[in-house]
Amino acid sequence: MALGRSAAVVIGTFPLGESDSVVTFFSREHGRLRGVARAARRVRSRFAGSLELFGHGQLVFFDGGRSELVRIDHFDVTEPFAALREDLDRIAHAAWITEVVGRLTGERDRQPALYGLLVRSLRAMNAPGRAVRVAVCFGARVLDVLGQRPRLDRCVECGRAYPFPRAILAEAGLVCEPCGAGAGFVVPVSAAAVAAFARLRAARWEEAVVMPLGRADAELRAVLDAHVSRLIGQPMRSGHFLRQVAAFGRAPGRGSMDA
């Protein structure tokens, strides 16, 4: 039985049996990795709350080589990112980020650049600022990291140079309305959102998370959610949660949920 170690982020967890948990990590050395934490849900568990969602730390596990599931020995948390779990809006956006990572990567597919982007995004979201902007910056960059960078300078079907009216974001990039006619799943995108998308991709991370975009943030988040849903072949579960949180924040007598 081989001993494995890696820096990792908890991106998912669910109960197994009476007291165990299956925990999904995204690790620097091994990519997406699932393991069983024995007795993790007992009151006096040796894990003692270390397996909270979004936690970043050092993972130690045993791999018997006979199953996709490893046996988690311990997880030493270095960055708990507690603020992410104290605000509904941050929870929703952080959940969207971790779901994107979990659903666009394969089991044990090592992606160090994506791991770095994930940790950077969670750190930014844990700090004061607008959670939606961090999610949008992550979404714009994760497509590049995974080799899914959409083209924004011309229609990917006919080659017509952008700008053109009523652009649609297809899997490979922008499509003009005539080329997009009859497509079963289209994501309309405004000129302002296209311009904001291009600016975010070109800017350094530190500039992107504070760059003024007007009302483009909300549209870009929705466009990116729809685009990722198309890539994975089904709607994002966290996307539905985000829409519920946004509706709650717009309810009479409540302020904006963006922190």
Band (250; pLDDT cuts 50, 70, 90)? low
CATH number of the structural domain 2-80: 2.40.50.140
The pLDDT > 70 percentage for the chain reads 94
On the question of pLDDT at 259 being above 70, the answer is: no
- pTM given for the model: 0.90
* pLDDT tens by residue, 72-96: 999 999 999 999 988 899 999 999 9
Query: DSSP characters for 151-202?
Result: B-SB-TTT-PBSP-SSEEE-SSBEE-HHHHTT-SS--EE-HHHHHHHHHHHH
* pLDDT tens by residue, 122-132: 999 999 888 99
User: What are the strands of the beta sheet with 188-189, ordered from one edge?
Assistant: 174-175, 167-169, 188-189
* pLDDT tens by residue, 220-230: 988 999 999 98
On the question of pLDDT at 52 being above 60, the answer is: yes
* pLDDT tens by residue, 207-216: 999 988 888 9
On the question of pLDDT at 47 being above 70, the answer is: yes
User: DSSP label at 82?
Assistant: G
CB of 62 closer than 8 Å to CB of 3: yes
Of 148, 193, 145, 150, which is closest to residue 175 (Cα–Cα)?
150
- Burial environment of residue 143 by CB neighbours within 10 A (0 to 12, 13 to 18, 19 or more): buried
* pLDDT tens by residue, 174-190: 999 898 886 666 788 99
CATH topology of domain 83-249: de novo design (two linked rop proteins) (1.20.1440)
Across all residues in the chain, what is the average pLDDT? 90
| Portions of the chain given CATH number 1.20.1440.120 | 83-249
On the question of pLDDT at 67 being above 90, the answer is: no
Q: How far apart are CA 115 and CA 61, in angstroms?
A: 18
**And the tokens for 188?**
């309309």
| Portions of the chain given CATH number 2.40.50.140 | 2-80
Q: How far apart are CA 54 and CA 86, in angstroms?
A: 12
Average pLDDT of the segment spanning 3-20: 95
User: DSSP label at 85?
Assistant: G
Angle at 120 between CA 117 and CA 121, to 5 degrees: 85
